[in-house]
Chain A
Amino acid sequence: MNELIDNLNGADESNRVYAAQDIADTGDNSYVLPLVEQLLRENSLIVKDAIISSLCCLDCMQTFITLYSFLQSRDAYLRNHAVIIFVSQKDNAVSYLTDKFESADNEVKKLILDILFEIGSDKAASAIRSYLNITSDNVQIAVIEYLGRLKDTACIEDMVTLLQTSREPMLCTAILSAFININDKNTIIRVLSILKEDESIFNNNLYLPQILRLSVLVGNCNEIIKALLSVTDIYIYAEDIVSAIEDAKHRFTDIVKESKLRDLLFIIAKSADVDVEIRIHAADLLILASDNNNMEDHYIFQLGCLFLNHNDLQVTGVRLLAIDGSCDAMSSIQTFIKSTRNDELRNLCSDILIEKG
């Protein structure tokens, strides 16, 4: 043990790294205090990282007081890595931190919530749930978000009550997002009927993404299409529209074939004002909707040609033209092969041309 401690405290940076690594391999918790002491003195980032990694392999209960003080430190490295170490300690950390929660300031409360969420055990979820009615808005929103991400159903009734009594927009948005994550159908139906009774929420664009997604989860096909087509700011809500259609197709596989939704997807896919990833996603959905026997479907070919002119969209462009399969599409691919310097794309195009004969 002495040799490892000597190396951990020594002048040679490499030896300090190796000592921290070797300590982790021992699994001996008596090294925890020397590791934490060295962490406080250490200037080298690589050594600090190695120490953190080592602490995560050991039982650090004996040093929780010190680690808790790191959560309050002005040093962001110590704060962030105290979170990592506490997470590694699992339910031991839950017990300790829940005792500290009430007396902590809001910033530390949020860090404690981060830790509890990452631990994610039943005990941690129960602790988070107990803070649902905390008075600080920001902390409460974090609690709601985490309960949603944990898909915690035990909090549903309290969250419905909160939704009915609160008018704070960020809070309402967080609650609706949590219900989406929890995805309990009966709750969603109930929540949507509550919202429909309150025009200040239901017709408020601020909540449109959440209302859209909630509708997709429980509405019938016509209701979903109606909701999607009612969106006026298509480019602002492009991502929400495309995500909603993606979710809807899990319940209604043919929804992507609805002509008005295909028109909507086409508008989004061809727009230069929309993020590339959303455009690709819209194009993917159009591909699903494409009917190879429908010779009047110009969208696939048009998008394919358009996408070839954009570096980030070329792969999808080639796919679209391959699916179109027309002589014009193959001709576009042949022209593209000559102009592109991307080996992978050239190989892909060659494969397609050979396959299509």
Chain B
Amino acid sequence: MEISIDEFRLLGEFIYRKVGIRFEENKIYFLNRRVGSRMQSLNMSTVKDYISYIRFLDKGEELQHLVNLITVNETYFFREYEQLRAFAEICIPEIIKHKRMNADYKIRIWSAGCSSGEEPYTLAIILREMIDNIDQWNIEIHATDIDKNILKDAGNAVYSDRSVKEVPEEYFNKYFSALPNNTYKLADKAKNMVTFSHQNLSDKQQLRQFRAFDFIFCRNVLIYFDEKSRKDVVDHFYTALNQGGYVFLGSSESAGRITTAFKIKRAGDMLVYCKES
């Protein structure tokens, strides 16, 4: 089943109003079949029927399913590579330089909505590769998620082929060892840099305990929040950052659209959001 461009624009507007994601029209062609198949499996013949279903009958699962179809398929190491490159090549050196000048050798990172751990472990690998004399530094990567079961998996640090498919070969050889059944275990030197804990981003009191970070990653998580909740969380991210710290949302999300408090800076080809010093 193929959806017409007009129908897809209708769906795009609905998604934008619901979750604040604007997806590019040139991706229509990529996604047409996936969304069309989904509609067919639900016996929906028109986009209007599909939207009505999500609006009036769905309890959130179908919207989540749809957003997954149009944003990301899965989580994996080094996802959204260009953004990570900006983090690695521009943001880290800047923070390191500033901290060295102040004889401050502590770096704190928060991966909010870490799922099965690929993101915080990716950050650990990047830090190990980008910071000279890393043993001189006290690095804390705090990874949180609302799903307790997935946090257990994350702690094991064992991954399938699909999770590691985008790991650059040099890093793969350095940080992963093969296990049976086409799985791979992350090396302890990266694994031990990450601490996992349960957290609900909607729980304000719990959220407010997390403070004093140099980097916050919360990618493709807030899309499921309503406007007010999303703003409350991003406002907290601002207060939770140290001066000069950075927040990274998903590449299709915009912190600037949620609050004007962050300063937008160019890091290579990317725009990044910084809490100004």
A residues near B (Cβ < 8 Å) are 13-14, 17-18, 21-22, 24, 44-46, 49-50, 53, 57, 280, 284, 315-316, 319, 344, 348
Neighbour of B235 across the interface among A49, A280, A319, CB < 8 A: A49
How far does the alpha carbon of A14 sit from the alpha carbon of B211 in the complex, in Å?
10
Does B231 sit within 8 A of A, measured CB to CB? Answer: yes
B162 interface residue, CB < 8 Å from A?
no
Instruction: Give the number of residue pairs across the A-B interface with Cβ within 8 Å.
Output: 46
- Chain B residues with a Cβ closer than 8 Å to the other chain, count: 19
5 sample A-B contacts, Cβ–Cβ < 8 Å, listed by A number: A13-B239, A18-B208, A45-B260, A46-B239, A49-B231
Q: Which of A49, A315, A316, A319 contacts B259 (CB 8 A)?
A: A49
Sorted nearest first, the 9 A-B pairs with minimum C-beta distance are: A46-B261, A14-B239, A315-B26, A45-B261, A46-B238, A49-B259, A21-B232, A17-B239, A319-B29
In the complex, which residue of chain A has the Cβ closest to the Cβ of B238?
Answer: A46
Tell me which residues from 200 to 244 in chain B have a Cβ below 8 Å from any Cβ of chain A: 204, 208, 211, 228, 231-232, 235-236, 238-239
Known: A18-B236, A57-B228, A284-B5. 13 other contacts (CB 8 A): A14-B208, A17-B235, A17-B236, A18-B204, A21-B235, A45-B260, A45-B261, A46-B239, A49-B260, A49-B261, A315-B26, A315-B29, A315-B30
Contacts of B25 in A (CB 8 A): 280
Q: Which residues of A contact B208 (CB under 8 A)?
A: 14, 18
The interface residues of chain B, by DSSP majority, are classed as helix
Complex CA gap A24/B25 in Å reads 37
Cβ distance B247 to chain A, nearest Cβ, rounded Å: 12
Contacts of A13 in B (CB 8 A): 239
Q: When the two chains form their complex, are residues B26 and A50 in contact, meaning their CB atoms are under 8 A apart? A: no
**A49: nearest chain-B partner, CB-CB:** B259
| Distance, CA A45 to CA B238, complexed state (A) | 11
Q: How far is the CB of A282 from chain B (nearest CB, A)?
A: 13
- Residues of A within 8 Å of B30, CB to CB, are 315, 344, 348
Residues of B within 8 A of A284 (CB): 5
A46–B5 touching, CB < 8 Å: no
In the bound complex, how far is the Cα of B238 from the Cα of A38, in angstroms? 19
Q: How far is the CA of A344 from the CA of B29 in the complex (A)?
A: 12
Residue pair B260, A280 in contact (C-beta under 8 Å): no
Q: How far is the CB of A83 from chain B (nearest CB, A)?
A: 15
Residues on A with beta carbons closer than 8 Å to the beta carbon of B228:
24, 53, 57
Chain A proximity mask over B236-277: 1 for CB below 8 Å, otherwise 0: 101100000000000000000001110000000000000000
